[in-house]
Structure 1
Amino acid sequence: MRDTCRGSVALVKVLWSNHVIEEAMWEAEDAMRRDYPWLFAQTYYLALSEVEPHREIQLKRFISKIMFMCTVAKQIYSSNGNVIFDGKIGMWPFISQEPAKRSSKNRRRGELETKPIRSITKEHMRVMLITNVIPTIRAKWPSMFSKDIIIQQDNAKPHIAPNDKEFVDEASKDGFNIQLVQQPPNSPDMNVLDLGFFRSIQALQFQKAAYNVRQLLKAVNLAFKNLNPQSLRFMFITLQACMIEVIKRKVGFDYHIPHMNKTKQAREGTLPDYLSVDKVLVFDSLQHLLTKVSVETIKELVQMIGFQGDVQVTEPQLQVTQGRINMDNNNQTASNT
């Protein structure tokens, strides 16, 4: 009980499920009985040696976690530095519309309310790719560039296989050749979204207070829309720098993400769109791979990374002449959840 100038107020101590014991707080008993009557409906008797059972409830203001599918691509600039394609393809939530089971001050019983999908399956991923990602890529992709596009996804179990029939049929329409590839396992730095894009989105989203699912969705979409395209450019350059560090070490990921003063270089107009890789480093790396994989695999790898030049591979010799690695692949997008 708490005595006030207007009388006494009955209080109960509440430990919400998303708080620790030290954060238990006092709440008005009449409000708790009104909002959570089932906590007071049960009567039980305890012996002197018995411990009172622990019951948990979820705070009504708590918003469940929402999963998003985010797809971005490397930006494309004209010869005079203007942005032709900003790289932000889209960001879609995994949600469903369900009729409300009871009336409240926010909606009547039977009205549709937005609910997050708690367990994402391969079918959810397939529908998201076919109904949202692929059509948006077709609509936003600059017509003057190649329609051979690679979507990189991480290795989460819900992701579909690259040879999924429904995806392949949809991805080959209208002259497009959209393919799925898997991110290297245990390599979060190889994904531009995990490398920094999600943190940038979350920093903007935190500036808007959200008290329900709809407000949270609105805040996330607004953060995605308002994110400076320059940030995405910086992240793709950092991704290339991480790739170079991985090539240098050949085995393991014991490196620090390189700092390049990208903001200063962009201000001075000296920031490159792609980073060059020394030919000797390429030679050493391919020579190392020759001891791990077959000759055919190395030839496929050389073609995939966009090597321009003459490559001759014969066991145990490897020759690379008059060539360079072009890491500025405009036809690659990153997709993740």
Structure 2
Amino acid sequence: MVVIVFLVGGCTAIGPATIDRDRFDYVSAISESWKRQTLLNLLKTRYLDAPVFMDVASVINQYALESEIELGFAWNGGQTQSIGGRGMYTDRPTITYSPLMGEKFARSLVKPLPLAPILLLIQSEYPTDTILRICIQSINGIDNSRYRSVGGNNADPVFDKLVDLFRRVYAADGIAMRAKNTEAGVNLTIIFRPPTHATAEADLRQLKRLLAVDTHLNAFRVVHGKFALDANEIAVLSRSMLQIMTAFASGIETPPEDMAGLYMDEAWQRKGLDKTHSRPWIHVKNGASKPDAAFAAVHYRDYWFWIDDRDIHSKSMFNFLMILFSFTERGKQEAEAPVITVPTN
């Protein structure tokens, strides 16, 4: 007992030793729960159930180490001696959750994504065609596929051509983007650089004609909207995260014996959106038992749904979806309510 008390008493500084363990353990736990929450909300969207997000607002871990040693001796008419020791170690993790609701829900899921981060993604070498097909609803009145809770509308026949031309011109280093902060907001400009060869020149000419812009200009204002007011600007209407989630969820296959899923598929087919000609952005498997190895897996409506850990395309698209959530406006931390703080010890 004396040896243990002295050993415990010697470990007075326990804080630094916990950083390596706590930091990585909490990062792994939060990352895994974030993936599962995102997949669950995609399934809820697929089944017309309300998506619910719970943000981890803060993680606070408190440690306490106490030790005490008592020694006593007495020789007043008799022999008395006593020895005692006490040690106590306490770990008090406290996690604060912030539900996404009310005005915060509207800002994060219903409000269209800002254009500046979308252009930033293009400049960060993310696939241009993927970004335009996922994040953009229309460009100068040319509509992308429109997804609703049930059904939707197919894209304009020239939208795929527009996206392909934009990709080819950008790949030839023919497009630059500039953002300038002003008191009124961020002014965005798309600049078409002079083509370096005949193929790039033909692609740029087709792109300008398809956009119905002034072919003699090379710099155009980018505004948020469906239609441009003149030939000097390009109107881009971005999607909201709820629209993007609906688009992702539309390609999720439901179990063949799931009658609710069968009715959902029939409702999609009746509403005019032809999903048979488009590849699902993610492939979600389903089954009655929990998968052995999965990138993300959740149990929903008596079935297991998961993304295969070997499915590189689905994993890449799923990660891209999670990156898009960082572009949504969350508002000020102090204005959020309610906040749930849960001691986990």
- TM-score range relative to shorter protein: under 0.3
Q: TM-score, normalised by structure 2?
A: 0.23
> Which one has the bigger strand percentage?
2
Q: TM-score, normalised by structure 1?
A: 0.23
